[in-house]
Amino acid sequence: VFVLHVQQPQSVASISSWTVYRRLEMFEQLNASLQAEFPQLRLPVCPLLHANGLNMSNFHLIERCRDELQRWLASLMQYPYQNSLLQSHAFVNFISAEANQVPAGLLLSQHFFASHASTASTTASAADQSIGEMEMDFMFSNGDDNAKEDDQFHYDHMPPPSPSTAQSTLDTSNFDMQPADGKVTLDDFHLIKVIGKGSFGKVLLVRKKDTGVVYAMKVLRKENIIKRNQVEHTRTERHVLGYVRHPFIVGLNYAFQTAEKLYFVLDYCAGGELFFHLGKVQRFKEPRAQFYAAEITLAIEYVHNLDIIYRDLKPENVLLDENGHIRLTDFGLSKEGIQDDFSGANSFCGTPEYLAPEILNRSGHGRAVDWWSLGALLYEMLTGLPPFYCRDRDKLFEKIRQGELTFPKYLSPAAVDLLARLLERDPTKRLGTGPTDAGEIKSHPFFKEIQWDLLALGQVPVPWKPTFNGALDTSQFDREFTEMPINSPDTRTMYGSSVGRRQMFRDTEGLFQGFTYTDDDSYMEFANRGPLPPSHF
């Protein structure tokens, strides 16, 4: 049984702190309840701990169990939409029911000291301070002292329990679930159709054979990645997708590799690219552009809170899901560890039409470049073309540096003002570079109709919802892609024979070490990042 010390809740003004006692099953119940209540959010998954006869005399193992669960609670309390999570009935009940009531037959661990808990355990603080702090300890029953010395404790990250599992009695034995084999290969999927193509490979619509779930599979040829010096960008994308979880960002479900290729198995966004839809109608009406820009703002705010800059915002990288909400994709140009608005990154990278002046000038850049790109994308959504569009690249760059920014007469004053402030060449004066980052943009009059909390929960009606003729309908994708053959002729310029391909795998193994991933790994990759920055929600 784990002991949670809860402090400084606003909801109970007369009590400053209390203690609750929770079995492992209760953590599983909380996880299942939150996943069911907020299906639109990719919440951190509770780490489940299981063993055949846990050795209760091994306090190091129990402490590890406690620390993993506490990190999970901390990640919930730092999640971007923690206001809704922490006010849910499931969470409130978890931290308050049967407060200060020690379960019968349980003793405080003899190895626990208050000072130890305060230093060894991570303290989690919610951004809105509705819960001040939590600390965890553990207790055990009188009858558990006879556990065998050689009993093995196993730790694994499992999928959320089913509702039936979550409702099981709290008196069942703990740690009785076996680890699952998380290995995934190409043979686990039916390859259905091409839905996209880039410089380094294709994106396929696939269905997982054992579950029937449909995904988008991004296939990259290692040879192309190496030849074009894109190894680091590919590794960055894999690393970032391993821990980002946001309703407006495409999620990574699996990643694996063969001797010649890398595979990202991503959420399938049946609505296709924003680029495709913008091309069909030329430009969006202001309410539709406003909606997409608002959801993009939340996604960028989230990655900025994780000290990531995106650096590749463009219509091709904004997808629509089956309900008409946006999803950002392609994090190959993103940069981690950036906390400053104006510095921290120096690479010349991005798509020409959306590059900020400070990138062109190679003067160093930070988070402000994403707000410039948001301005360029919003301008294109409202007018049909990027703000400084020109086919000649040199002239394009010159116009970005010093060309006049003009606005069609049909744009509203609020839209013109927002665009002018986002497309400010001086990053120190650009909207979004104040202490609240996206907060400045969210409070702009252009977004006055947006209810940000409801938008974050997917509860604002979408301006346009795609229609489908079945789950495998790809009508929202360009026929240029969907009519391509799934299997292209193999390129064997570097490694022609099977022996050569095996040699290639050995040669590239170090370059792509750690690429393999399953969705159950997301919590550990998230937790291993260290503490999250405070959210602005």
Which has the closest alpha carbon to 45: 519, 537, 452? 519
75 by DSSP, 3-state: which?
Answer: helix
Pull the structure tokens for residue 313.
């915002």
Question: Do 66 and 137 form a contact (C-beta atoms < 8 A)?
Answer: yes
- Could you confirm whether 67 is annotated as catalytic? no
What does the DSSP assignment read for 457-519? Answer: TT-SPPS-----SSTT--TTS-HHHHTS-SSPPPP-SS--SHHHHHHHHHHHTTTTTT--EEG
Specify whether the CB–CB gap between 195 and 205 falls below 8 A. Answer: yes
Tokens of 46: 């509770």
Contact by Cβ (8 Å): 256, 185: yes
CA distance 65 to 155: 8
Q: Which of 267, 307, 312, 520 is catalytic?
A: 312
Query: Cα dist. 92→2, 22, 289 in Å?
Result: 17, 13, 37
Neighbours of 406 (CB within 10 A): 8
Name residue 335's beta-bridge partners.
309
To the question of whether residue 218 is assigned a binding role by annotation, the answer is yes
CA distance 428 to 417: 17
Radius of gyration of the chain (CA): 25
Supply the DSSP symbol for 151: P
The first and second tokens of residue 177, run together, are 């679930």
Cα–Cα distance, 29 to 24 (Å, whole number):
9
- Signed CA dihedral, 184, 187, 188, 189: sign only: positive
C-beta neighbour count of 525 within 10 angstroms: 17
End-to-end CA, the chain: 33
Q: What is the helix (H) or strand (E) element at residue 6, kind and residue range?
A: strand 2-7
112, 138 contact by CB (below 8 A) = yes
Task: Tell me the three state secondary structure of residue 255.
Answer: strand
How far is it, in rounded angstroms, from Cα 152 to Cα 141?
19
CA distance 410 to 323: 29
407-446: b (≥16 Cβ within 10 Å) or e: beeebeeebbbbbebbbbbebeebbbbeeebbebbbebeb
Q: Report whether 448 contacts 306 (CB < 8 A).
A: no
Q: Which residues are catalytic?
A: 312
Q: Please give the annotated binding residues for ATP, written as ranges.
A: 218
Q: Please give the annotated binding residues, written as ranges.
A: 218
